[in-house]
Amino acid sequence: MCRFITATLPTDADHAALAAIAQRHGRRLLPISNPSIDRQIGPGLRHYLTTPGHCDCDVPIGRRLRERAKDMDEAIQRLRRKGWSEAKIERALAQQQDKRAQRVVESTAPWLAFIRDMLTQTKNTQMGLLMHHYSGALDADIVLSARESLPLPMLSEELLEGLREDVLYEFRR
């Protein structure tokens, strides 16, 4: 049905200060209870819905894995059949790649700022992000496929674009 991005934060974090930061970035922090997630994250963390509207289906995080992988050889062959020269094909592909890179930067910049502010503007030292495509209620059973701890300096556009579903990414200051 819909994809949601949820967050995990330490139970002793200043929820009011973090909620204000989330709001400044167009997100929210609404505590949610999902027994399967709560069991997997442990007692020191709390699970939050960050979605300000209906869902996060259009959010750019994890986009690289959701987009249909385009076969570069197929595109080149198609352009050759149209009579394009090798130089023209190279230029066209380079322009497409440049446009895509610019879109990635523009679409992930708000998320980079949100995560950085959540970890630098308060005493909070940890924030997790989890993407899941829900086919029912938000308390549906979810099995994490992995849990990755990442230092804040590793945070980048490319990293956010490549996040995988059902993996808890824990960013640490």
**pLDDT for res 101:** 66
**pLDDT for res 105:** 64
Q: Which of 90-94, 130-134, 168-172 has the highest mean pLDDT?
A: 168-172
Which tokens hold the place of 140?
Answer: 């549906």
Which residues have CB under 8 Å from 79's CB, separation 6+? 88, 89, 92
Distance from C-alpha of 30 to C-alpha of 6, rounded to nearest angstrom: 9
> What's the pLDDT band for 71 if we cut at 50, 70, 90?
low
- The per-residue pLDDT of the chain, averaged, comes to 89
Distance from C-alpha of 141 to C-alpha of 145, rounded to nearest angstrom: 13
- What is the mean predicted confidence (pLDDT) over 102-125? 87
Residue 66: pLDDT above 50?
Answer: no
Query: Are the CB atoms for 146 and 95 separated by under 8 Å?
Result: no
**pLDDT for res 59:** 83
Distance from C-alpha of 165 to C-alpha of 51, rounded to nearest angstrom: 16
